[in-house]
Structure formats: structure tokens, C-alpha cells
Amino acid sequence: MLPERGYHHGDLRQALLAAAELELTEKGVEGFTLRGCAKRAGVSHAAPAHHFRDANALLTALAVEGFVRFSKAIRDRQDAALNGARGALILAGLGYIDFARANPALFRLMFSSSRPDFEQGILRNSASAAFDILVEAVAASTNAASMAEAGMQDVAAAWAVAHGLADLLLSGRLLFLGPLEGAEGDRILAGILQRALP
């Protein structure tokens, strides 16, 4: 539980987001409530209304934060690319997987739940920024002259492979490959991505 204290100068919103992530991780999207988040944040059940009209609004804000962190996880991996555009695309896939493994409940909220409101511009924009990283990486890897020329089938293939691997890992469906941790796990997952990406 987050420490009880008075919130002021705008930190109630951040406290609620932190509480929301804990609530989501522990109870899943089905058990997620605004009241539970308020309790975790150590505030009255009415306090969240100052920032969020309902639980879905809080989940929307949490998804925005998730996409920002998701983009950073991918960029952090890409920063280590030593073998050109193809390597950067493979590392983008590993960054995708890193985020999913580190944040399974948040990952599922972002990609599998109807509760976040993607009609909200801030969420649509943060999700689009993450998608643009993929389009950019595919364009560079396939020698497209611009992102606009990146084949959308190639983009869809790259997304499907990275997302599919992440989902299979979270579901425990790749145990037949052995432990996929550390440098050896990266080597195996990179090999799969190398085989399957455009």
C-alpha cells in the first residue's frame, strides 16, 4: 500500500496512477475499482474525482503512461543496435518483449482491454507514437524510402511476431524452449525474431 499522507501541488494524480498500477497488477482489469485505488493511495473514496471521472478514465491515463514506458523500453533496446537497421528491428522486438514481461497487467490493459478510451487524444497519440517506432524500424530494415512507403503487411508481420512472442511468454506457452532469461534467452528470442521478421 502507498503511504498515507496529504496530497497537494498535483501529486494526487501521480499517487492515484501508482495505486492504479498496483491495483491492476493484483486484481486484474476485471477487479479494478476506483475505490480500491483510493484506498491504496490513502485518500478518501471521493478524492479521485478531482482528476478522474471514473475507473475507466483512470485506466485510460494509466494506459497513456504505459505507452510512454513501452516506447522507452523499445528505444532503450534499439540504442544498443550494432548491426544496422535489421539489428535495430530485432532489438525493437526484444524491447517489446521486455516491456510485456516486466509489466504483464499493464501490457494486457494496453492491448487486450476495452476499458481504456482510445478516442481520447492523449491515449491515441501515445499509442500512435509507439506504433511509429515500429513503422520506422520496418521502413529502415526493408530499405523503404520513407515511413510512408514501409509496406503495411511488413509492419503487420513485425507487430504480430513481437506481440505473439510476448503473449506466448506471458502465458507460459514457450516452456519447451527452456528458460528464456538473460543473454541466452535474448539470443533465442532474437533468433526467432530474425527468422520471422520481414
Mean pLDDT for the chain?
90
* Residue 121 CB partners (closer than 8 Å, separation 6+): none
Averaged over 149-159, what is the pLDDT? 85
CATH number at residue 26: 1.10.10.60
The number of folded domains in the chain is: 2
One domain for residues 86 and 117: yes
- pLDDT exceeds cutoff 60 at 9: no
Kindly indicate the confidence band of residue 84, based on its pLDDT and cuts at 50, 70 and 90: confident
Evaluate if residue 93 carries a pLDDT over 60: yes
Q: What is the mean pLDDT of residues 136-153?
A: 77
pLDDT at 71 over 70: yes
Q: What is the pLDDT of residues 34-66, one digit of tens each?
A: 999 999 999 998 999 889 999 999 999 999 999
C-alpha cell read off for 77: 533496446
Neighbours of 61 (CB within 10 A): 21
Q: Are residues 93 and 190 in the same domain?
A: yes
Residue 144 belongs to domain with CATH number: 1.10.357.10
DSSP string, 53-114: SSHHHHHHHHHHHHHHHHHHHHHHHHTT--SHHHHHHHHHHHHHHHHHHH-HHHHHHHHH-S
Report d(CA 115, CA 111) in Å as an integer.
10
Q: Looking at per-residue confidence, does 57 or 152 come out higher?
A: 57
Same domain for 114 and 21, yes or no, is no
Asked if residue 62 lies in contact with residue 73, where contact means CB atoms within 8 angstroms, the answer is no
pLDDT score of 148: 61
Q: How confident is the model at residue 1 (pLDDT cuts 50, 70, 90)?
A: very low
Domain that holds residue 137: 63-196
pLDDT tens digits for range 156-174: 999 999 999 999 999 999 9
